[in-house]
Amino acid sequence: MRLVAVALLVALVGCSTTNYQVYEGRTPQIIEGRGGTKQVIDGYEIWDNGDPPRRYQVLGVATVEDFDNVFGNQRMRSAIAEQIKAAKGDAAIVQDGWTQGQSIGSGVAFAGNTTAFGTTQSSGRKQIRYRIVKYLDKP
């Protein structure tokens, strides 16, 4: 039981790590978007399929990593919204990502007349790279 409580506590208080790299080039990377699907998180658009249907400039790339569970996913969304704000951007577009490792285990322990049951869940890690962009044709 104590192990389950510790695992839950780690899932709740863990934190997302973010790495941001500024785009550099001889000319700005300006793209005419075609459209897709988005979520709005803390007032910022997160495009997870396609891109914004407007002109935008790529400011940089942010990589966000956390546990692959409901708490980690929420922290990742908040972390990317904070990164958009810090970069003075308008939106983020998913570039790519990966998830690794997740396991669930259970066990039974016997000691004399006492039996103990337990389960553990080890969440894997998830990493997503986003292009941070600024809109050039704001309404």
> DSSP per residue over 75-123, as a string?
HHHHHHHHHHHHTT-SEEEEEEEEEE--EEEEEEEEETTEEEEEEEEE-
pLDDT in tens, 1-13: 554 444 444 444 5
**pTM of this structure:** 0.71
Residue 76, pLDDT score: 87
User: Quick one: CA torsion of 56, 58, 61, 67, rounded to 10 degrees?
Assistant: 0
Please state the domain extents for the chain. Answer: 2-135
Range of weakest confidence among 4-8, 48-52, 62-66, 109-113: 4-8
Task: Determine the 3-state secondary structure of 26 from DSSP.
Answer: coil
Q: What percent of the chain has pLDDT over 90?
A: 50
With 60 as the cut, is the pLDDT of residue 60 above it? Answer: yes
